[in-house]
Structure 1
Amino acid sequence: MSQSREMLPRESLLWIFAAQFAALLPQFALLPLWIVCAWAFAVYWRLEVYRGRRDLPGRTIKLLAVALAVGGLALSYRRWFALEPMVALLAVSFTLKNLELVSRRDAFLSLLLAYFVAATLFVFEQTIPHAFYGAVCVVLITAALAAQQGSSSARPRRALGLSLRLLAQAVPLMLLLFIVMPRLGPLWAVPQNTDGASTGISDSMSPGDFAQLSKSDKPALRIAFDGPVPPPEQRYWRGLVYSDFDGRRWSQGFGVDPREGGRVSWGPPQQPLPAVGPRYRYRVIQEPTHNRWLFAMARPHSDTDGVGETPDDRLLKKAPVYNRFAYEVRTWPRETLGAVPDLSDFERSRNLQLPGGGNPRTRAWAQELRAKNPDTEEISRRILQFYNRRFVYTLKPPALGADSVDEFLFESQQGFCEHFAGSYVFAMRAAGVPARVVAGYQGGEWVAQEEYLLVREYDAHAWAEIWIPGRGWRRVDPTAAVSPERIRDGLRSAAAEEFMQDSLFPLHRISVLNRLRLQWDMINYRWYQSVVSFDSDRQRGLLQRILGEVSPLRIALFIAVPLGAALLCVLSWLWWSGCSRRLPPASRLYRKFCRRMARAGIERRPGEAPRDFARRVRAEKPHLGPMVERITAAFEKAAYCEDQEAEKQLRRLLRQWRVADGWW
């Protein structure tokens, strides 16, 4: 019997489980299946305990459950100090706590854990839908806390109403703190699981890879310019350089990939910046890729913390891009960099590397071109002419065999950008010219309303760079020789009927839906610009616009004045509600009736008894007499006889009379 008296009521349990489910729902796709099943089983067991069909588990079973949970976490995750196992640990704590959910203290602890789980949602995603869902979770968890105060507070309307009122009162303080609190970096960094799925361009390239990316219309980059916008033929956003070829696949290789010895400068630029100003200044917002490489035009420099530069004109981030990441870039034309040093022996050897065998026809053809004219640019021009005369640009090229370059150049002659870039670089290397493949994005859709360039996954592109003595690395895009409209107008124009042909919902073919999709992207852009990327620089600019001069005294006044006004309003409301609540409920209801009668033109006199007032109302407004008599009788019975039913009747009569007459 003593245990049953300690049990939480059914309504409290249901509120707790509803709050847990709301907080865990977005994590179900990330958590191991056994945690989801264990949580559901623990909820079922606890409900069975409430029904009296099961007993609460003893100490032995609890210890066994803890041991199984720890073992499951160890088997499910290689690294413990990462974000996913930390979230899984919180979910396991929910599960284990449900096995001993008995007292109100247990309920409070479980719901406080729910706040932390709901907060982890924003570590993974900061989009508008996730922000809205996070707010819903906070409302439900706060309502579950309110429901623990008693049986009447557990009613859905009452609990949700109290939760909404409490959170609405906290919104002004939240906005004030959002504006004035110092924008500090995280006090600790919890890495995410590097085995998670990545999106976008890979660290290697083989025939067909970029054609697969052309099927996705997900945003990849959003680029806002401070000054002139480059024309379409200059919008090459480089991210990776492939220097190693094994006969089928291009990869970064040793000395290029930072994981394999590639050099990265995290401080000042490796080369002195030109005295002439940069050609372009822009801010890139990159979607999460779970990789370290960033995207920018050639010869970039970034002052953003945690962004470094490589010798081959690329930008890298110290940690993988797990969430949207914004970085500032300045880009100089390569011709302004001054004298170009010669290639080192290692660089030359790496960018002339070819497999020991394979593709004999291409090798022989390239050597023939070299023999006829050893000039680098003339060899390149002849190869591009060969592409221009015979080749077809298509998103659905035929499969290639072992000698993929020979089959592409001399048999199928149909391909996508990776076919053209890879075969071109192979041919140039076979002719003795250092060359490399560059991967990134090309083009983008200009969003005039918000003035930014939207680059999508289907804008993924591969091109080539060749080394010209005295001039350095120069970009060559073989795809432009076959399909110049791809560079000028984008993939949608170049691919025509093949573009997004396999898409289940081809939104681009429906103009209204395409416009709506663009509007939604603009809303997301504003959200990221205004909220997610509200860093210290933006905070300082906003405070300067509001205060004029940012000083400790002005910031203190900016905080103290609204807080003092809010405190005064709260104290006034508490005083007014306290004065009114000192009256019995029946007297408060009768006073409300008298105020309504006063607005109707009949004011109750000081000291006038309720019966005398009712007779006077009947005399002056006979049509109100019956209802006033009933209200007066209910009040006298509720006030003097403490009849609860009479009080409910009085409340009901006032409500019905308001609806029936409606003249006050």
Structure 2
Amino acid sequence: MATTQDLLPRESLLWIFAAQFVALLPQFTQLPLWVPLAWAFAVYWRLEVFRGRRDLPGRTLKLLVILLTMAGLAISYRRWFALEPMVALLTLSFTLKNLELVSRRDAFVSLLLAYFVAATLFVREQTIPYALYGLLSVVVITAALAAQLGSFSARPRRALGLSLRLLAQATPLMLLLFVVMPRLGPLWSVPQVTSAGRTGVSDSMAPGDFTRLSKSDKPALRISFDGPIPPPEQRYWRGLVYSEFDGRTWRQGVGVDPRNGGQVYWKSGERPLPQVGPRYRYQVIQEASRSPWLFALARPVSDSSGVGETLDDRLVKHSPVYSRFAYEVRSWPRGSRNMSASLSRAERNRNLQLPPSGNERTREWAESLGRRGLGAEEISARLLARYNREFTYTLSPPALGSDSVDEFLFGSQQGFCEHFAGSYVFAMRAAGVPARVVAGYQGGEWVSGERYLLVREYDAHAWAEIWLDGRGWQRVDPTAAVSPERVRDGLESAAGEEFMQDSLLPLHRVDILVKLRLQWDMINYRWHQTVVSFDSEKQRDTLQRLLGDISPLRMALLFAVPCALLFLGALLWIWCSGRARKLPAAERFYQKFCQRMARAGVVRRSGEAPRDYALRITREKPQLASLTQRVTSAFERAAYGGDAEAAKELRRLVKRHFGLLDLASVQVDKLKQAGR
């Protein structure tokens, strides 16, 4: 049972609610609507209790609230053991603590929970704005803790000042621990169940999918190279292979999708590598996509943990990419890798699959080319030549019906990359040539300041691959036959006025804004390289640069020396702050008055009250009687009554009459000299 002295005053409650609001605000946009409403209701109830209008809930009501909370979580989330329902549960526990917020002990427990809630901010994003907001949350929560020490500490300036000083003192230790503490798996690597949409290449492709991606300028990949950089026409970042077509939508299909029978090599060295070295070595930083697909050039191999290689030259992650993910890649040209001379029957049938009916006109045209005895390359050349003569590249193609390939090839003849790739593969299969659609990104903008390639969502692209006996799979990009500038110069050059025409703010048309955006992306890239991706390997390299060979003795010295310096610095700061403790303004100006009077010959005695001192000055220096009375009165009202106007008056009196006080001092000096 809390005593009267332990009960929370109004200032403490307001600080607690402010800390809760700051910690929970980013979560409110991600959690179900009823969760922030529950927090607001709990705060309202606790304020009503403080005003005496309601009582704290009893045991029965608390049990009912808990049951309702669990039911709400069960309805809002499909499974319990995932990250988002656990964050929601922590948030609700934090919220319901308000219903039993009585004593200072309850306040401390609630604020300690606030630190954990603030840490969940980084579950979804680890960008610089989120880091700054996390720092703000810690400042406010620490200030709320400081405010629990008493009414004087609850003043905003006092509480925030103490919070900032504490955090400043903790910063060196934080940096030390960041460098030397063993790296643990991040909280955001736990599976998430959210269905919130993220832009990105999907596991299926239908007409219009890539057109929608062309309207987004969000970053997708950042790629830095260790060695040569591929020319623009070779920058095909493959991520998915579509082998199954139902008449309108392309999908990966059985035996291709790793989630549906597709084989993945998870261990390095499971597939034989050529004797010649890789053509390209690079690191990819991929944005969150909520899917396991990774993007790389053809024939990739990665030694990064949790990354595997598929049979169709792709990289996949063991779990979906819920946050920025960095991985190392080596890529070989197709001719340098071991390839089978022919396709297996199952793989050939998979890459010749077509729906039993539909798009009859395209089937008949392609079959006629096959009956003439033309080879795969000749059929491909004729189809590409037709694209080049008759078709138009556009971001606003007309809608297509059920026979989408026929309508595109013999009707609209206007389309985006998915129209060209899908129709090309359909026609090649109809002609008896194994073919497949490949999806990913093409191109990228070179950022010279940090030397990396920036690939955005509007660089999403689809192309094709056909099988040539003795040569294996060969890339064919039908879009390049229609709009070669799309591959050479990027989407903005190919689309012209259509590029980002639906955007509310056409930032890509203002040069200064384009440069500022690139500068901001470079800052984010450096932030990720130095902070977010500081893993155990980078930690080991950093420690080796600092210590040379890592040994227990050197690690102990690395800990002991900074800790000793911090301890000595804290002692020095305490000693200096104790000596130079700042007096209130009223006492400082009264001391200046006493010092002037001492020079005038009237020294204040130890323990002498201000009023007694004033009477003595009046007797010994009658000419200063009026000034002394006014100074003493103003000091008493400012120091003992907290009168801010009296403090200002005291300051004016002492400063304005310094000349009179100095004159009295000079007269004393003359009398002393005359006495000599």
- TM-score above 0.5: yes
Change (3 A) 1:295 1:189: closer
Amino acid at match of 1:421: A
| Alignment-derived partner of residue 198 in structure 1 | 198
Q: How far off is 1:475 after superposition?
A: 0.3
| Alignment-derived partner of residue 21 in structure 2 | 21
| Alignment-derived partner of residue 277 in structure 1 | 277
| Alignment-derived partner of residue 368 in structure 1 | 368
User: In the alignment, is residue 156 of structure 1 matched against residue 152 of structure 2?
Assistant: no
Amino acid at match of 1:162: L
Q: Secondary structure at the match of 2:224?
A: strand
After superposing the two structures, state which structure 1 stretch, 67-76 or 460-469, moved more.
Answer: 67-76
- 8 Å contact kept, 1:631–1:653: no
| Alignment-derived partner of residue 233 in structure 1 | 233
Q: Secondary structure at the match of 2:86?
A: helix
Kindly report which structure 2 residues correspond to 1:254-653, keeping only aligned pairs within 5 A, or say none: 254-578=254-578, 589=588, 593=592, 644-645=640-641
Q: Secondary structure at the match of 1:494?
A: helix
- 8 Å contact kept, 1:594–1:604: no
After superposing the two structures, state which structure 1 stretch, 541-550 or 493-502, moved more.
Answer: 541-550
State the Cα deviation string for residues 511-559 of structure 1 (Å, max 9, x = none): 1111111111111111111111112222233333333443332332233
| Alignment-derived partner of residue 662 in structure 2 | none
Q: Percent identity?
A: 68
- 8 Å contact kept, 2:589–2:650: no
Task: Select the structure of larger CA radius of gyration.
Answer: 2
| Alignment-derived partner of residue 220 in structure 2 | 220
Q: Secondary structure at the match of 2:265?
A: coil
Q: Secondary structure at the match of 1:153?
A: coil
State the Cα deviation string for residues 418-456 of structure 1 (Å, max 9, x = none): 000000000000010000000000000000111000000
How far apart, in 2, do the equivalents of 1:152 and 1:186 lie? 40
User: In the alignment, is residue 35 of structure 1 matched against residue 40 of structure 2?
Assistant: no
Q: How far off is 1:188 after superposition?
A: 10
User: In the alignment, is residue 49 of structure 1 matched against residue 49 of structure 2?
Assistant: yes
| Alignment-derived partner of residue 210 in structure 2 | 210
State the Cα deviation string for residues 269-321 of structure 1 (Å, max 9, x = none): 44311111110000000000000000000000000000001000000001110
State the Cα deviation string for residues 605-662 of structure 1 (Å, max 9, x = none): 9x98589xx99xx9xxx9xx89995798589979xxx973499899767866898899
How far apart, in 2, do the equivalents of 1:197 and 1:646 lie? 58
How far apart, in 2, do the equivalents of 1:372 and 1:216 lie? 45
How far apart, in 2, do the equivalents of 1:468 and 1:273 lie? 22
Change (3 A) 1:156 1:647: closer
Change (3 A) 1:169 1:285: same
Q: How far off is 1:390 after superposition?
A: 0.4
- 8 Å contact kept, 1:309–1:315: yes
- Please, what TM-score do these two structures have when normalized by structure 2? 0.89
After superposing the two structures, state which structure 1 stretch, 530-539 or 520-529, moved more.
Answer: 530-539
How far apart, in 1, do the equivalents of 2:636 and 2:307 lie? 78
Change (3 A) 1:188 1:163: closer
State the Cα deviation string for residues 123-176 of structure 1 (Å, max 9, x = none): 211001100101000011111111111111111111111111111111111111
Change (3 A) 1:3 1:38: farther
How far apart, in 2, do the equivalents of 1:105 and 1:70 lie? 26
Runs of 4+ with deviation above 4 angstroms? 1-6, 186-189, 576-581, 583-597, 602-605, 607-611, 625-638, 645-663
How far apart, in 2, do the equivalents of 1:448 and 1:232 lie? 15
State the Cα deviation string for residues 97-141 of structure 1 (Å, max 9, x = none): 111111111111111111101000112110011001010000111
- Please, what TM-score do these two structures have when normalized by structure 1? 0.90
Change (3 A) 1:552 1:591: farther
How far apart, in 1, do the equivalents of 2:196 and 2:244 lie? 26
Change (3 A) 1:499 1:75: same
| Alignment-derived partner of residue 250 in structure 1 | 250
Change (3 A) 1:529 1:381: same
Amino acid at match of 2:175: L
Q: How far off is 1:580 after superposition?
A: 6.6
| Alignment-derived partner of residue 666 in structure 2 | none
Gaps of 5+ in 1: none
Q: How far off is 1:58 after superposition?
A: 1.4
Change (3 A) 1:365 1:565: same
Change (3 A) 1:255 1:426: same
- 8 Å contact kept, 1:593–1:654: no
How far apart, in 2, do the equivalents of 1:247 and 1:415 lie? 17
What is the count of residue pairs matched by the alignment? 648
Gaps of 5+ in 2: 660-676
Q: Secondary structure at the match of 1:159?
A: helix
Q: How far off is 1:578 after superposition?
A: 4.6
Amino acid at match of 1:123: V
Change (3 A) 1:372 1:168: same
- 8 Å contact kept, 2:301–2:309: yes
State the Cα deviation string for residues 374-416 of structure 1 (Å, max 9, x = none): 3111111111111111000000011111111011001110000
Superposition RMSD on alpha carbons, in Å? 3.3
Amino acid at match of 1:518: L
Change (3 A) 1:344 1:141: same
